[in-house]
Structures are given as C-alpha cells and as structure tokens.
Chains A and B, each alone.
Chain A
C-alpha cells in the first residue's frame, strides 16, 4: 500500500512527510515528526490535549487526517515561543502555577492563544467556555483561567 506524500507548513517551517491515509495529524506530528508536545489524552476530541491550529483555526489534531494538512499552515505548541522568548501566556502559566502535572498544558496554551487571537479581552465566562474542550484534572481550572486573563491584560497593555 502506497503512502501519501504531504507538503505542508508547520510552525512556519516547510515540512514534507509520508503518511498512511488513516494516520491522524496527531499521529503524524508525534510519531513521524517528533513533535510530541501535542498530547493524545483521548483520541476522540473530548480532551483537547492535542489542540493545534490549522490556518489559524483551533482544532484537535486527533480529529484530522495527516493527509488533510496538505497546503495548510499548522501551528503547534512547539511554535509558540519565539526563540528563547516565551509567549506571555507561557510565562503567565508558570508564574500563576497554572499547571501541576503539565500534560494538558500544551493544548490549553494553544487554545488560549487562539482565544486571545480572536478576542483580546475575554471575560472569565468567555474564557471558561472557550476552554471547555480542554480537560485539566489537576488544577480545577482556577489558576489556568487567572493566568489567561492576566496574560490577556498584559498583552492589551503592551499593544
């Protein structure tokens, strides 16, 4: 059975890979490309640990085929910091202790960045609903929500 040749862009870098038709984008990222920052918590789109962006749109990498990525711009957690400069959300997550085990953190950061890209001044409720598809079992979400709102505030003030 022949593999599918895919040309795409990941975190701004041109990337080519071969995948099986049934490989999800998450399989490709993790198993073929070594981008293991996106996590598989459920494989069914219920936990958000594999959140990535496709052309700026937030999606679960487990619910998209690797073959579908051709020609699109994929953004993952690995592309969030610029060089040694953390994104304000990343910095705030550390400062607010918004992570305990850290397994949901990459997905939540990608989702939170997508929120702030759409809405630089979200309310607590908007933030909670936007992130409802990102399960965290450690924190009870309190510090996560605070970190996102604080980062949003700093980013608004800086812009």
Chain B
C-alpha cells in the first residue's frame, strides 16, 4: 500500500507545497540561539587537541607522550596504539585517517591527541609529544602518482580491476558505456581530443568540525557533533571503538554547512577515546587550518576527452579517461565522474574509463555531486569547442543530443521522464540568451546531471492531544529541511503548516537513517513523512469509524478531517484532526504514524547554466556579469530554498572555476590552509544569481519531488570556462582559471 502513489504522475494541486512559509528554526538562527557543534559544553569538560604531521609522507618510528602526560592539567593522551585493530578495510581506513598508524600519509595527518583542562594546557602538551618521523618520498599530483616509479602510499591495495603494470597508487579502474567508439568517431566530421585538469577544492563550510564526547567505563557513550549523519557517526564510532551501536547515542547539533564534507568522522572517535581514558567529557573543535589540511577536499582530476561530431552537431561518439586522486586512501569519486560524464546525452557510442588514484593529500570527502563537476567540465568544454568550431548554437547542439525519456543512459539505465530538454528550451527562450555582450565579454552554457539518492529512512509522526503534530526525522537540517518536512506533513494531513513541528531526533529515538547526502532528504525523508502521515490518517479514519460505528473502509480523509466515504456510510459531520486527537485516549490511545524504508526512485536531475563574464585582457581578471540557473526540481516544495540550492551550487562552482585550489609546495606541504589564500567567493565578487525552477515530476515520489542540492554545482565549472574562453578568445582547459594562468593563456594565444 505504502508506495502505491509512486506511479501517480498526474498533475496535482497543493495547498502548502509550493508556498514559502517561514522556516521554523529561523528565529533561533537569526538571534544566535541555535546551537552548532562548538556551542555545547558539559560540566567538567576537557579540551581536546590533535597533533598533526608536518610531513607529506613519513614513517612514524615512535611517539613519546610521557612528557605530555606528565604536564599538570593533562588528563589523557591518545595515539593509534589506543585503538584496536579493525577487520573491515573501509572502517580501518577511516580510523587510520582519524589517527595515523605506522605512516603519516599527508601534511596534517593526525598522529596524537591530548585532553587537558584548557586549550592553553593542551597546546603546551602537544609541543611535548615527541614523534620520530622518517620522511619518505611523496607525491601529490594525480598524473605523477600514476607514473610507474611514483612513491607508493600503500602496497598491494589495488583491486582486481586494475591492469597489471600500473602504478601501485592506482586503486581501482571503472568502465561504463556502450557502442563502438572507433566506429562512431569514424562517422564524425571532426574529432576533438583534449586534456582537462581541475584542482582539489574544499567544501568550505564555515563551521569547523566540532564535537563533545562522553564515554563511560560501562560502554555507554553520548556524543554531540556537527555532522550530516549522526547515524553514520554512531555506526562508525561504534565500530572503531568496539561499542555496541545501541549504547552510543549521537545527537546532531545544528550544522554549519557540510556539502558532503561532514559525511564521515574525523574528531569523533578520538574525542570518545580521550573521554574514555580521562573519565571526563571532552570537547574538540578544529581550527580552520586543520579543516583545510586534514578534512575532505574533493578530488583533483586529469581527464582526456575524445568526442566526434558531425558538422550539423550530432555527437557520433564520446570517450573519456578520467584520473582522480582522492588523497591518501582509496575511494575517489571517479566512478561517479565516469558515470555522469556523458549522462545528459543520448549517444550510440559512449565509453568512460576511470582510475582511482591515491596521493599524499588528505582523504577526499564527498563534495556536492561528488566526481560529476570535473567530468562535466571536460565533456561540456569539448562539446562547446566543437559546436563553436562548426559555428553552431551551443544550446541547439545540446538539444540535438539531449537525453530524454527512454534514452539509454551512458552509465546503463534507461531514463524515465527527465527534465534536460525543458531546461535547454527554457534557456534558449530566456532573455539572458539573447542579451547583447560588450567588448571582452563572453557567454557560456553547460549542462549538468546528478543521480540523486534515496536510502534508509525512518520517521515518526505523532498527533498530540491538542491536535498539533510533531514529526521526528533523523537527518540534520542543513538548509531548511525542517520547513519542507513540516510542509509535506501539513499538506498530507490537510492542516496548517504551523501546526506541525519537525525535530531532528537523536540516534536513540529513531531507527537507521542514511547520511544527509545525494540530495536525498527532501525526496526520501519527504516520502517517508508523507507515508507516516498517511499511516496516521488511516488510524484517525479508524477512530472516526469507531465513533460513528461504521466500517473503517467507509471513512476517508479530506481537508484535514475524517469524513464518511459516501452516502452509504451514513450522515456524520466531519471529524477534524483536533477532534479525533482530543478523544484519542478513549478510542484506543495515542495516535501516531511512522514509516521506514530504503527509498528508491530518487529521480535523476538535470540543469543548464548560462553565464556572462568579462575578462580584463591586461591582468587576466574575470568578472561574473550575469548568471542564470535552469534546473528541474521535480516539484519545488519550498521554492525559496530550492532557489537557494541553485544559487549556492552555482557560486561554489564559480569559486572552483576561478580561484579555489589546493596549492602544494614541492615539499608536499599545503601552502594555503586558510580563508585568506583558499579563496571562496565573497559577496562583492558576484551578481545576483537568477534562477528558473522547472517542474517535471519525479514518478518515484508522491508529490514528484527530485533532489535539487547537488545538480547545481555540476554545470558551472564548464559554463564559466566556456564563457571565459569566449570572452578571452582562448580555450581554457585547466582550473582554476586564476588570473596568472588566464593572462599567460591570453598572451600566448592558447591555453
């Protein structure tokens, strides 16, 4: 019964969905009352700090913590020796990233931690820890790491997909596609071959990682932390520390941005261990430098593209080899990059090959559509160059090749109803596309795709005695999801939005919930919320039937009240939710609805971005003049927050395209671990970001919702590069397009 409505794609009318109510956590967040990761404290709390490797790659011969332990005010010191061995390789990598084992694998890798009565004492203690390092050769560039003689980080970790003879730093090989590339290329009027490069960028959330841990000797523990998934934190920490999952209760703080970067653990297992050893609560907060040196940036990439096109704009074949370094451990998102590279197009012949490479950099973490923006940068740049070379309209070329319902995607599945064509047609008709450009100005467009995820989801909806509703969900509210959940519950129950209060439950209050990732929350938690509301409605209909003395099948729920289904059910005045709630105790007890699901049918999402830039030919400076996002949201639950996702993703992509980059010296040390030289866009860098929301309903969601958070960062790298290339008259194939790089390209007439 639960998911029956999933196939119902007829246009629906809504009362609450699509409106713009005030978010329920608004006042807390504008008054400074909302409590984020670092805002919690506990009686008797200690301060925990981490000692980090100053080497890019080094064997740790020994660690002497005795002087630190002897310092007055120090209550615990931990190193890897305090953690037991782990069987699961993935979890072992997570632990090794949180606390180095026999090798420090990157600049900033944690090697020890202390808990002391103050930050001052803790800092003194860190200086007293003596680590005997044996520096080893290092490598930070993806192509250098794939060279046969490159310094190897791990021996024998490559999986069976990696061909013999490749560098030991290649961990996995992925391949996707169909058709015959050579045959396709032979039909082309032009075959373009290019290599594209992107640098690693950080998610750049403004809130550094923070947690407060209390772990008792009986194996019970409590943890407060900023995370995109407190169930993930619970399960991972329990595995690392040998705890039972049910004994570790994790509460998610308000979260100050994540963008994928808070989908793993860094401090949490260390804080728990320090708490266990000291017998005191331990709070840990990272500095910005620690965030940049030791938490997940995304992968850097090097991508070869080969695309054939006929002179009328038909793509005859597309091939890409993608090489991503994901830092010191396996797991770069090259698989998703390889799957998404050609996903917007309907191609007969398409193939992508991806290599997952390790280097002496921090372990990458998910970053908004992980792996896709770099792949789109390469493919969308090549398509743009081909289209312009033939004198064709780049939007027309994309329309000509656009994937649509029934297209076999380059990564395998056949698409149901999708919105790519709608975004392209809307872009073509938009005044932005025909607006005049001045000297040194250019316009670029690009498309982007993201899968969107569903996953394990569990919500509980309770009807209170006075007829208000509380909804418990298990995903931190990273950008307005309390509002959208309350809206979906209100819509389904037929009551006003402000009669529903959504809370983020701790791990002790709900079952398993997948991390807030893959743009899954509005889709999956929304779906579960709707189904939980439907369960509550069924129960309320049953109560009404009981009161009326009729069969429960003869009662329906409409406009917030139980009503007889038809004349045969008898004449009974409707019973509102509040009326049923008031007598719940006499009709069987409290009323609630809950729903648990591994949600499927997330519904892929597409966007087209259009951007105008102006290039200063004397300095290589780029100004963003105008930007418009066209994206399919399926159904925009709260349009303001949908627009916000579009705008935020576009601006992160602008930063990635122009100025953001991890800069490593020859010594393998990160040179820009601060917001001064890790340059995320500031307000004065930008114009308003215009948005056009398209709504092509997702057949997999009762209201047609698709995730929107990630797709918006996929097109901008290429859109900006295409625009800058147009303005500067040179094709830019390497990101970031920093002024020195762009000026050099302009001066040499080629990039």
List A residues at the B interface (Cβ < 8 Å): 20, 22, 30, 35-44, 46-47, 49, 76-78, 80-81, 86, 90-91, 93-97, 99-106, 109, 124-125, 127-129, 131-146
Contact = CB atoms under 8 A, between A and B. Distances in A.
Contact of B683 (A22, A42, A132): A132
A100 B22 contact: no
9 contacts: A41-B208, A46-B288, A49-B206, A80-B31, A86-B27, A103-B206, A103-B257, A127-B683, A141-B681
Interface stretch (B321-329, B608-616, B645-653): B645-653
Contact of B205 (A97, A101, A125, A134): A101
B288 A44 contact: yes
B676 A46 contact: yes
A38 B206 contact: no
Name the residue in A36, A78, A96 with the highest tally of chain B Cβ atoms < 10 Å from its Cβ: A36
B478 interface: yes
B674 interface: yes
Top 9 closest pairs, chain A to chain B, by CB: A37-B32, A103-B256, A140-B651, A102-B29, A97-B640, A100-B479, A94-B26, A46-B675, A140-B647
A32 B39 CA distance: 12
Interface in B247-270: 254-259
Interface string B452-474: 00000000000000000000000
A153 to B, nearest CB: 16
A127 to B, nearest CB: 8
Main secondary structure of the interface of A (DSSP, over half): loop
Contact of A41 (B259, B288, B676): B288
B680 A139 contact: no
A29 to B, nearest CB: 10
Interface string B25-38: 11101111111101
Contacts of B36: 36, 39, 103
Given A102-B25, A140-B689, A132 B39 contact: no
A131 B645 CA distance: 21
A128 B686 contact: yes
Interface string B405-429: 0000000000000000000000000
B101 interface: no
B229 interface: no
Contact of A78 (B31, B256, B480, B684): B31
A95 B31 contact: no
B322 to A, nearest CB: 26
B647 A143 contact: yes
Given A103-B256, A141-B686, A142-B647, A86 B206 contact: no
Nearest to B226: A103
Interface of B: 20, 22-23, 25-27, 29-36, 38-39, 120, 203-208, 254-259, 285, 287-288, 478-480, 638, 640-641, 643-645, 647-652, 674-676, 680-684, 686, 688-689
B607 to A, nearest CB: 14
A139 to B, nearest CB: 5
Contacts, number: 183
B596 to A, nearest CB: 27
Given A37-B32, A40-B208, A104-B206, A139 B641 contact: no
A43 B289 CA distance: 9
B206 A136 contact: yes
A37 B647 CA distance: 26
Name the residue in A40, A94, A131, A142 with the highest tally of chain B Cβ atoms < 10 Å from its Cβ: A142
A41 B682 contact: no
B743 to A, nearest CB: 23
A78 B32 contact: yes
Nearest to B641: A97
A109 to B, nearest CB: 6
Given A46-B674, A100-B648, A142-B647, A90 B684 contact: no
Name the residue in A127, A132, A134, A139 with the highest tally of chain B Cβ atoms < 10 Å from its Cβ: A139
B644 A131 contact: no
B293 to A, nearest CB: 14
B354 to A, nearest CB: 28
A124 B120 CA distance: 43
Contacts of A96: 640
Given A41-B207, A76-B32, A136-B206, A94 B27 contact: yes
A141 to B, nearest CB: 4
Nearest to B40: A36
Contacts of A143: 640, 643-644, 647
B686 A137 contact: no
Given A36-B39, A97-B640, A135-B675, A140 B648 contact: yes
A81 B27 CA distance: 10
Nearest to B202: A137
Contacts of A76: 32
Contacts of A49: 206
Contacts of A144: 683
Contacts of B26: 93-94, 99
Contacts of A105: 29-30
Nearest to B629: A140
B30 A97 contact: no
Contacts of A133: 682
Contacts of A137: 203-206, 257, 259, 648, 652, 680
A137 B203 CA distance: 8
Contact of A142 (B206, B255, B688): B688
A109 B480 CA distance: 19
A100 B478 CA distance: 7
Given A97-B480, A135-B680, A145 B22 contact: no
Given A40-B208, A46-B674, A142-B689, A86 B30 contact: yes
Contacts of A80: 31-32
Given A42-B288, A90-B30, A140 B650 contact: yes
Nearest to B674: A44
B209 to A, nearest CB: 12
A35 to B, nearest CB: 8
B640 A100 contact: no
A144 B686 CA distance: 12
B271 to A, nearest CB: 17
B31 A77 contact: yes
Contact of B120 (A22, A37, A42, A104): A22
A135 B30 contact: no
A104 B647 CA distance: 16
A41 B20 CA distance: 30
B106 to A, nearest CB: 21
A36 B32 contact: yes
A101 B647 contact: no
Nearest to B640: A97
